Amino acid sequence: MTVLVARLGRGAIELLRIFGHHATFFVDLIRACPAALRRPYLVVAQIHAIGNLSLVIIVASGLAVGFVLALQMYYALVTYGASESLGLIVNLSLTRELGPVVTALLFAGRAGTSLTAEIGLMKAGEQLAAMDMMAIDPKSRVLAPRFIGGIVSMPILAILFSAVGIMGAYVVAVLLIGVDAGNFWSIMQSGVDVKRDVGNGIVKSIVFGFICTFVALYQGYEAEATPEGVAHGTTRTVVIASLGVLMMDFVLTALMFSTP
Amino acid sequence: MGKKSVETLVGIFVLLGMLGLVFLALKAANLGTFSSGDTYAVTAYFDNIGALKVRAPVRSAGVTVGRVASIRLDPKLYQGVVQLEIQRDVQFPTDSSFRILTSGLLGDQYVGVEPGAQEKMLAAGDQTKQTQSAVVLESLISQFLFNKAADAGATAAPAPAPAASGAKK
């Protein structure tokens, strides 16, 4: 009986220790950012690795999601004779929710795992320790550029996802189904507010960029220096980042979109 | 990969992002439709604004000529004070009537303007009480029931009438 309570207590204290470790890591990362900005090419190379190379999956997914949204919303709306509002519904769904969230999930899967694996392997190959020996701060040389790269890439990818999704929905709705093109754009334009919908979507994607990149870097840095450790780290990145994104999405949506 | 080509690719990436943002803002949202620079403000007093919201359109003959800027309650008159921003190139006579109408059967409410016959036009900052409130469903139903009751019991009709007019004062 006392063994159970002791184990529970140890688990709780361990959880607190993990929170604290996350927090100190985050503070160190933020403190290392100015030094990284003094070497802009490092940041640019990371934006290329994280953002540019994710373009294919983000644009392809955006197109597919736009197609499917247009189809499904059309079948739902046509029963109420509201099929002219198809553009509005698709735009609001994409810019408010699906753009930031789906991009964040894909980002965690593609860029997050590659970050974790790269840093985990650097740690396994003792490269980070070697940098430390040479008085080069590994956080500002290796981690901070990736952090800044992730935060810069995420909103751009989310915007592209939403834009391509709307264009895909246009193709399906106007060219395939036959919704009126003028109504498609004009009802959408009168119903979507730049600050409220597009702006809040971008804020969401910046927050999700923080979460995904931070989780990926932490899991890579703290992974065990073995192949199994790196593998566990990558799966943990995807799971923790995805859960974090979805829960933050609920909080942010409640804050931003509760009726005034 | 050469340093220059990486930087070029990242530049293209950021440019694509900005183009996407411009597309979303202009083509897919309401940034390009209404420039708030060249408008003048007119204040209208309504007994009941119904479900009118800020940013609702102001329409004359069905054409959008302005937006509702703000809505508040006048604490002395207990009337809704609605500030309208109307495009500067559209002028209405001072006896124009402002009504709150509904677009379609279940649509959003907007302010409709019927131009009057005066020669003098509404200027910036003018206030107008030539208004008609929104239709409130409960008042319609109670009016309908009241009329039905009045038809049913003709002798009961004179008694509620003075009481109702007494309450109105």
Please return the burial class of A231, using the count of CB atoms within 10 Å of its CB with bins 0-12, 13-18 and 19+. middle
The fraction of chain B above a pLDDT of 90, given in percent, is: 14
pLDDT in tens, A170-187: 999 999 998 888 888 888
- 3 state DSSP class of B61: coil
Token representation of residue B89: 């190139």
A145/B140 Cα distance (integer angstroms): 66
pLDDT of A61 strictly over 80: yes
What rounded mean pLDDT belongs to chain B? Answer: 82
Chain B residues with at least one Cβ partner in A under 8 Å: 1, 3, 6-7, 9-10, 13-14, 16-17, 20-21, 23-25, 27-33, 55
CB of A238 closer than 8 Å to CB of A138: no
Which H/E stretch holds residue B114? strand B109-114
Residue B45, min C-alpha distance to chain A (Å): 23
A170/A185 Cα distance (integer angstroms): 9
Bridge pairing between strands B126-128 and B80-87: unpaired
* Predicted local confidence at residue B159, as pLDDT: 55
Closest residue on chain B to A190 (Cα): B30
pLDDT in tens, A193-252: 888 889 999 999 999 999 999 999 999 999 988 889 999 999 999 999 999 999 999 999
The fraction of chain A above a pLDDT of 90, given in percent, is: 81
Asked if A59 reaches chain B (Cβ–Cβ under 8 Å), the answer is: no
> Which of A48, A160, A198 is facing B17, going by the closest CB pair?
A160
**Backbone conformation region of residue B120, classed left if phi is above 0, alpha if psi is from -120 to 50, else beta:** beta
Bridge pairing between strands B63-73 and B126-128: unpaired
Q: Which residue has the tokens 């090419």?
A: A41
* Predicted local confidence at residue B30, as pLDDT: 67
A153/A165 Cα distance (integer angstroms): 18
Q: Tell whether ipTM is more than 0.95.
A: no
Q: Which residue has the tokens 């409410």?
A: B109
pLDDT of B121 strictly over 90: no
pLDDT of B35 strictly over 70: no
Collect all residues of chain B within an 8 Å Cβ-Cβ radius of residue A55.
13, 16
Which H/E stretch holds residue B46? strand B39-46
- 3 state DSSP class of B128: strand
Collect all residues of chain B within an 8 Å Cβ-Cβ radius of residue A164.
20
B86/B63 Cα distance (integer angstroms): 12
B60/B84 Cα distance (integer angstroms): 13
Please return the burial class of A56, using the count of CB atoms within 10 Å of its CB with bins 0-12, 13-18 and 19+. exposed
pLDDT in tens, A136-156: 989 999 999 999 999 999 999
B contact test, residue of A189, A195, A196, A259 with most B CBs within 10 A: A189
Residue A22, min C-alpha distance to chain B (Å): 30
Listed in sequence order, the DSSP H helices in chain A are: 2-37, 40-50, 55-77, 86-92, 99-107, 113-124, 127-133, 138, 144-170, 181-191, 200-221, 227-257
A198/B21 Cα distance (integer angstroms): 8
- Pick the more confident residue, B51 or B1: B51
pLDDT of B13 strictly over 60: yes
B165/A56 Cα distance (integer angstroms): 72
Indicate yes or no: CB of A198 within 8 angstroms of CB of B21.
yes
Indicate yes or no: CB of A51 within 8 angstroms of CB of B10.
yes
User: Measuring CA to CA, which residue among A115, A105, A103, A57 is closest to residue A234?
Assistant: A115
H and E: helices and strands count for chain B: 3, 8
